[in-house]
């Protein structure tokens, strides 16, 4: 890998190391949104949001759409997620993703959250099968695109080793 490519890869990984940026990508997955709209939805300062939007644009994760006129006739630039983040490497991925999910859940109506937690004891073959099936499910839904009459949902599945040694 040459220096430019290596620097670009590091910049992309850094861009995805922020829960706020991951939430921006989620909000822009199906709807183009302006910096102002994103700042309001995520309750952050527009200047702070602009910094994060620029980082996502510079790394190819967000793409500017055609300009439009705002409510008062001002020029607005909406942004749409490119989908390039799906397989991109991340710094500290488990921690960043967990914090992103925590932030999403904090804003969700608890009555509308379905949650399950299952302890498993799997050999290597069955763990590999579980991983393949979960990834296939994610890929299937990612590739479907949005339902025109659909509501927005988040889906998180986590498998991790746990401290639970076999009994004697």
Residue 24 within any structural domain of the chain: yes
* pTM recorded for the entire structure: 0.83
Residue 7 within any structural domain of the chain: yes
Residue-wise pLDDT for 42-84, tens only, equals 999 999 999 999 999 999 999 999 999 877 888 899 999 999 9
Residue 156 within any structural domain of the chain: no
Residue 53 within any structural domain of the chain: yes
Residue 155 within any structural domain of the chain: no
Q: Which domain holds residue 16?
A: 3-144
Residue-wise pLDDT for 107-152, tens only, equals 888 899 888 888 999 999 999 999 999 999 999 998 888 899 999 8
Q: What is the pLDDT of residue 55?
A: 96
Q: What is the pLDDT of residue 46?
A: 93
Q: In the structure, what pLDDT confidence band is assigned to residue 153 with cuts at 50, 70 and 90?
A: confident
Residue-wise pLDDT for 69-78, tens only, equals 877 888 899 9
d(CA 50, CA 56): 10
Residue 17 within any structural domain of the chain: yes
CATH number, residue 122: 1.10.10.10
Distances (CA, A) of 58 to 44, 61, 79, 134, 147: 20, 8, 12, 31, 30
Our count of domains for the chain comes to 1
Residue 149 within any structural domain of the chain: no
């Amino acid at each position: 890998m040459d220096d430019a490519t290596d620097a670009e890869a590091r910049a992309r990984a850094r861009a995805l190391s922020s829960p706020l940026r991951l939430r921006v990508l989620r909000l822009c997955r199906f709807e183009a949104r302006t910096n102002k709209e994103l700042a309001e939805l995520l309750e952050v300062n527009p200047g702070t949001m602009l910094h994060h939007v620029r980082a996502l644009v510079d790394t190819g994760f967000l793409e500017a759409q055609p300009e439009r006129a705002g409510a008062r006739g001002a020029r607005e630039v909406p942004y749409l997620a490119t989908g390039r983040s799906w397989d991109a490497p991340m710094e500290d991925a488990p921690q960043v993703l967990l914090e992103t999910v925590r932030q999403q859940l904090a804003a969700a109506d608890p009555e509308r959250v379905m949650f399950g937690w299952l302890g498993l004891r799997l050999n290597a073959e069955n763990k590999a099968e579980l991983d393949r099936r979960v990834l296939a499910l994610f890929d299937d839904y990612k590739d479907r695109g949005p339902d025109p009459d659909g509501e927005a949902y988040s889906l998180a599945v986590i498998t991790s080793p746990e401290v639970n040694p076999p009994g004697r």
